[in-house]
């Protein structure tokens, strides 16, 4: 399968390229199809960073990338290298207190922010104070308002960018008004770049996450998983050489990449290569539930002195919704998963201790306290302990997802 990203140059007053904006495209047709904004941005990120490569996309210049409200609140931007991107906040974003805090966190981490299609509103004041760039649409904003926006903002630290500049007259006017950067068809239409998508086996990604959960970061084990998958190997080397660490020399081996990245950066990379596959609203909710279940199940196992299999129960609960995620019958979905036979049997309904734990979690989630009491007696765990363990699992999962 071929993937596509469009780029449009952003020029300075000398008409030299200062930045690029990266734009979603579904095919070689050079226009934006109305699709889910979250999916569009995630496609742009994964295609640019892991397939086409940022060196090819921007020639070393920063890339403006649109971010929806949902992706800002989920802190997806923190997956990207701060020195390679400008986080472009769409005009549809509501500047709630939580969203402003997320933007403050980005600024504190060294990211640059841009406000897209800007129209001055008093409730945007906090975002204005955080902005490095303000983009003004010259097709919508006419006459004196192009000048008045700069006066109203009244912040010398902010650079103004005139977008949708269609004529030499627009460009000259923008320069005279004090705009610093310019973007539009007068200079260049978006150019489409493409690459061949290499399907990633999601099972390999889950196996990697299993290793990363362990106390010891075992480079050799992780290397063996990645080397078995051509797509993962390709995307890892593409990512580390194009984006993340500002390396002076090219990285040519999987092991070298893993050593240089370390656990934290590797977690980010795994998130990048897997997040798009589960990016629609329904799947995202299922994934969140699975993460909570995984920690909850592990904690229950430790509480009932079944610690020797606790890590396997973590994986079992992570996969407890795999049939929904893959849209397959559970029996088919489990065929190639690296799970013990007794765990597979439990997920298929056979009664054993693993199924009892899985049932307990199901009944707790669904508020079936009669059946929950029966399960708690069977596993010799108090309902009070169950409630406390669930709260702890929820807190842990929230922290993991935020990170």
Q: Which pair of tokens denotes residue 366?
A: 């669904």
Distance (Å, rounded) from C-alpha 100 to C-alpha 84? Answer: 22
pLDDT of residue 279: 46
Q: Which pair of tokens denotes residue 146?
A: 């192009």
Distance of CA 223 to the CA centre of its chain: 23
pLDDT of residue 66: 92
Can you give the residue ranges of every domain in the chain? 2-195, 198-277, 281-402
pLDDT of residue 109: 93
**Residues 168/186, Cβ–Cβ less than 8 Å:** yes
Greatest extent of the chain over all pairs of C-alpha atoms, in Å: 79
Q: Which pair of tokens denotes residue 304?
A: 């009932």
* DSSP letters spanning 187-229: T-PPEEEEEE-----HHHHHHHHHHHHSSS--HHHHHHHHHT-
Is the pLDDT score of 216 beyond 80?
no
Q: Which pair of tokens denotes residue 377?
A: 């007696």
- The residue ranges of DSSP E strands in 12-158, in sequence order, are 17-25, 63-67, 85-89, 112-115, 133-137
pLDDT of residue 309: 85
Name the helix (H) or strand (E) containing 48. Answer: none
Question: What's the average model confidence in pLDDT over 166-175?
Answer: 91
Using the structure block, give the residue that is written with the tokens 């995202």: 284
Distance (Å, rounded) from C-alpha 120 to C-alpha 128? Answer: 9
Using the structure block, give the residue that is written with the tokens 């279940």: 293
Is the pLDDT score of 100 beyond 90?
yes
* DSSP letters spanning 250-261: ---SHHHHHHHH
**Residues 258/251, Cβ–Cβ less than 8 Å:** no
pLDDT of residue 248: 58
pLDDT of residue 325: 63
pLDDT of residue 177: 93
Residue partners of 115: CB distance under 8 A and separation at least 6: 89, 91, 124, 127, 128, 131, 133, 134, 135
Residue partners of 293: CB distance under 8 A and separation at least 6: 317, 318, 320, 321, 361, 365, 393
pLDDT of residue 206: 67
Distance (Å, rounded) from C-alpha 60 to C-alpha 53? Answer: 11
Between 308 and 26, the higher pLDDT residue: 308
Distance of CA 19 to the CA centre of its chain: 22
pLDDT of residue 244: 46
89-93, 190-194, 211-215: segment of lowest average pLDDT:
211-215
Question: What's the average model confidence in pLDDT over 213-225?
Answer: 75
Is the pLDDT score of 217 beyond 80?
no
**What DSSP character marks residue 43?**
H
Question: What's the average model confidence in pLDDT over 287-313?
Answer: 85
Is the pLDDT score of 176 beyond 70?
yes
Tens digits of residue pLDDT in 223-257: 888 876 766 777 777 777 664 455 556 676 788 88
* HEC letters along 329-349: CHHHHCCCCCCCHHHHHHHCC
pLDDT of residue 377: 92
Q: Which pair of tokens denotes residue 384?
A: 């009070």
The radius of gyration of the chain's CA atoms, rounded to the nearest angstrom, is 24
Architecture of the domain delimited by 2-195? Alpha-Beta Barrel (3.20)
Task: Work out whether strand 17-25 and strand 2-11 pair parallel, antiparallel, or are unpaired.
Answer: antiparallel
Q: Which pair of tokens denotes residue 3?
A: 């993937």
Tens digits of residue pLDDT in 330-388: 887 776 565 788 988 999 999 999 999 999 998 988 888 899 999 999 999 999 999 99
Tens digits of residue pLDDT in 15-67: 888 999 998 887 666 455 556 788 888 888 877 876 677 777 888 889 999 99
4, 32, 204 from 27: Cα distances, Å: 6, 10, 28
Question: What's the average model confidence in pLDDT over 212-221?
Answer: 71
Distance (Å, rounded) from C-alpha 232 to C-alpha 239? Answer: 10
Distance (Å, rounded) from C-alpha 239 to C-alpha 50? Answer: 5
Question: What's the average model confidence in pLDDT over 310-322?
Answer: 79
Helix, strand, coil in percent for the chain, rounding step 5: 55, 15, 30
Is the pLDDT score of 326 beyond 80?
no
**What DSSP character marks residue 277?**
G
- The pLDDT > 70 percentage for the chain reads 79
Is the pLDDT score of 105 beyond 50?
yes
Strand partners, 3: 195
Question: What's the average model confidence in pLDDT over 311-333?
Answer: 76
Q: Which pair of tokens denotes residue 339?
A: 């799970």
Distance (Å, rounded) from C-alpha 13 to C-alpha 86? Answer: 19
Distance (Å, rounded) from C-alpha 345 to C-alpha 8? Answer: 53
């Amino acid at each position: 399968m071929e993937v596509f990203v469009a780029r449009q140059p952003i020029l300075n007053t000398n008409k030299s390229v200062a930045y690029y904006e990266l734009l979603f495209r579904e095919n070689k047709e050079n226009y934006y199809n109305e699709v889910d904004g979250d999916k569009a941005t995630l496609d742009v990120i994964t295609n640019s960073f892991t397939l086409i490569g940022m060196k090819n996309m921007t020639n070393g210049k920063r890339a403006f990338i649109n971010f929806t409200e949902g992706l800002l609140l989920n802190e997806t931007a923190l997956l990207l290298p701060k020195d390679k991107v400008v986080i472009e906040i769409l005009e549809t974003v509501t500047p709630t207190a939580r969203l402003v805090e997320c933007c403050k966190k980005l600024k504190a981490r060294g990211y640059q922010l841009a406000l897209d299609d800007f129209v001055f509103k008093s409730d945007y004041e906090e975002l204005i104070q955080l902005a490095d760039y303000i983009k003004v649409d010259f097709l919508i904003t006419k006459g004196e308002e192009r000048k008045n926006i700069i006066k109203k903002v009244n912040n010398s630290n902010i650079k103004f960018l005139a977008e949708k500049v269609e004529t030499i007259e627009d460009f000259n006017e923008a320069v005279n008004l004090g705009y610093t950067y310019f973007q539009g068809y007068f200079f260049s239409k978006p150019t489409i770049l493409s690459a061949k998508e290499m399907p990633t086996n999601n099972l390999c990604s889950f196996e990697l996450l299993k290793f990363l959960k362990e106390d010891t970061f075992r480079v050799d084990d992780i290397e063996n998983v990645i080397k078995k998958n051509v797509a993962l190997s390709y995307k890892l080397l593409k990512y580390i050489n194009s984006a993340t660490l500002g390396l002076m020399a090219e990285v040519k081996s999987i092991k070298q990449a893993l050593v240089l990245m370390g656990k934290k950066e590797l977690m980010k990379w795994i998130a990048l290569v897997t997040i798009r596959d589960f990016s629609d609203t329904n799947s995202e909710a299922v994934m969140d539930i699975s993460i909570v279940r995984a920690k909850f199940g592990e904690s229950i196992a430790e509480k009932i002195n079944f610690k020797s299999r606790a890590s396997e129960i973590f994986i079992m609960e992570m996969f407890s919704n795999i049939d929904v995620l893959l849209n397959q019958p559970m029996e088919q979905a489990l065929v190639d998963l690296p799970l013990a036979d007794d765990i597979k049997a439990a997920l298929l309904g056979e009664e054993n201790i693993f199924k009892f734990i899985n049932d307990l979690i199901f009944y707790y989630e669904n508020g079936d306290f009669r059946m929950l009491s029966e399960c708690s007696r069977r596993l010799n765990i108090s309902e009070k302990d169950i409630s406390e363990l669930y709260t702890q699992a929820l807190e842990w999962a929230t922290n993991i997802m935020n990170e």
